[in-house]
Amino acid sequence: MRFSLQREVLLKPLAQVVNVVERRHTLPILSNLLVRVQGGQLELTGTDVEVEMVSRVTAEETEAGETTVPARKLFEIVRALPDGSRVTVSQREDKVTVQAGRSRFTLTSLPANDFPSLDEVEATDRVQVPETGLRELLERTAFAMAQQDVRFYLNGLLFDLRSDALRCVATDGHRMALCEIPLEEGHPGKRQIIVPRKGVQELQRLLEGSDRLLELELGRNHIRVKRDDVTFTCKLIEGKFPDYEAVIPIGADREVKVDREALRSSLQRASILSNEKYRGIRIEVARDLLRISAHNPEQEEAQEELEAQTSVDGLAIGFNVTYLLEALSALRDEFVVLQLRDGTSSALVRGADHQRVRHVVMPLRL
């Protein structure tokens, strides 16, 4: 096996796959990348058995073959080489040599036959989405996923495939984030899958800001995302996601429209003096005015006032300030709307101009 590439051209696919590889693993082969050269193309595969990333690039001076090499070491070597270097990788018996200029490195390889591959995905549903659309879905929702919750189905992101739209939904039981994009080509029927946290994070790292169409293949136990230069496969979380539509507040008809950046800045300042454990802040709505206050056990207090467009008067409600700030950071609109019902009900936070992105935040008793 042999191939040659410019350092920068090799570094991109290496960076895509190396993050999937676990640093510490009981199986030595899982610390390696599968390197395959065939028909003038280099294919790099990394996996932790749950998530698999396959990246492809056209190579030069190739000799067909396959082997596995230590993922992190190969990545660090290539990254440390000077810009513009030509990197040549070749294999003899169980050693792989990496050469660039006067630099030469010899790595130990393991047989390619021992490298695990994920089961073939039998796609029951296929849908095409623009890369920018999928990236937006993840950016605006993934932060609300639970972390190591005993309700394992919350430790991931729901992909809700509908006849005319794709929704992503995340919740940790205290807040919920929802975003949807329309599908140009309709899809027959409905389908829900839960993608685990690591899969979502790797997918976020992979997606770029282009309008290329990606193909999503949904199988019984896997999701696969295909782009011309990379294929991402991930096992799904088995379980039933909560009925998230039941969480969206009904009857929250008291609306407060406010400048998003002004609200975010006020909340950040007030949060400095909030209780470090509960992160509680109090929001009071008066006619055309929003008051934000916070205090802590040291008897310190913060107060902020900002203009708001509202006819609501005399409503007070408490929130975890972190949840509100993360919801506002995931929105892009100049103005946001807080939809409230009373001081003990969840609030709906959305952009002023559309309902495509919605966040639900539970109240906090202060």
256 lies in the same domain as 189: no
Distance CA 154, CA 170 (A): 7
Residue where a domain stops, chosen among 214, 244, 274: 244
Strand order in the sheet with 254-259: 191-196, 156-161, 165-171, 175-182, 357-361, 347-351, 335-340, 254-259
29 within domain boundaries: yes
- Which pLDDT value is given to residue 322? 97
Residue 242 is classified by DSSP as -
139 lies in the same domain as 215: yes
Contacts for 24 with CB less than 8 Å, ≥ 6 apart: none
Q: Is the pLDDT of residue 25 over 80?
A: no
pLDDT tens for 39-77 read 999 999 999 999 999 999 999 999 999 999 999 999 999
Specify the number of domains making up the chain. 3
> Residue 279 burial (CB < 10 Å; 0-12/13-18/19+)?
middle
Which structural domain, as residue segments, surrounds residue 106?
2-114
119 within domain boundaries: no
120 within domain boundaries: no
Distance CA 156, CA 133 (A): 19
140 lies in the same domain as 157: yes
pLDDT tens for 304-316 read 999 999 999 999 9
- Average confidence (pLDDT) over 316-326: 97
With bands split at pLDDT 50, 70 and 90, how would you rate the model's confidence at 136? very high
Element (H, E) at 197: helix 197-206
260 lies in the same domain as 235: no
253 lies in the same domain as 340: yes
- Name residue, tokens 């389908």: 191
212 lies in the same domain as 154: yes
Residue 184 is classified by DSSP as S
Residue where a domain stops, chosen among 92, 114, 136: 114
21 within domain boundaries: yes
Residue where a domain stops, chosen among 205, 221, 244: 244
Mean pLDDT of the chain: 94
289 lies in the same domain as 189: no
- Average confidence (pLDDT) over 112-131: 88
State the CB neighbour count (10 A cutoff) for residue 90. Answer: 16
366 within domain boundaries: no
221 within domain boundaries: yes
185 lies in the same domain as 217: yes
Q: Residue type for 170, please?
A: A
CA 330 centroid distance within chain = 12
Distance CA 100, CA 87 (A): 5
- Indicate which CATH number applies to the domain containing 42: 3.10.150.10
155 lies in the same domain as 239: yes
Radius of gyration of the chain (CA): 25
272 lies in the same domain as 234: no
Residue 263: closest CA among 316, 307, 315, 301 = 307
* 333, two tokens: 């609109």
9 within domain boundaries: yes
253 lies in the same domain as 353: yes
163 lies in the same domain as 59: no
pLDDT tens for 197-220 read 999 999 999 998 888 999 999 999
Residue 281 is classified by DSSP as E
153 within domain boundaries: yes
With bands split at pLDDT 50, 70 and 90, how would you rate the model's confidence at 252? confident
For residue 164, what are the CA distances in angstroms to 51, 123, 146, 187, 249? Answer: 28, 19, 28, 6, 24
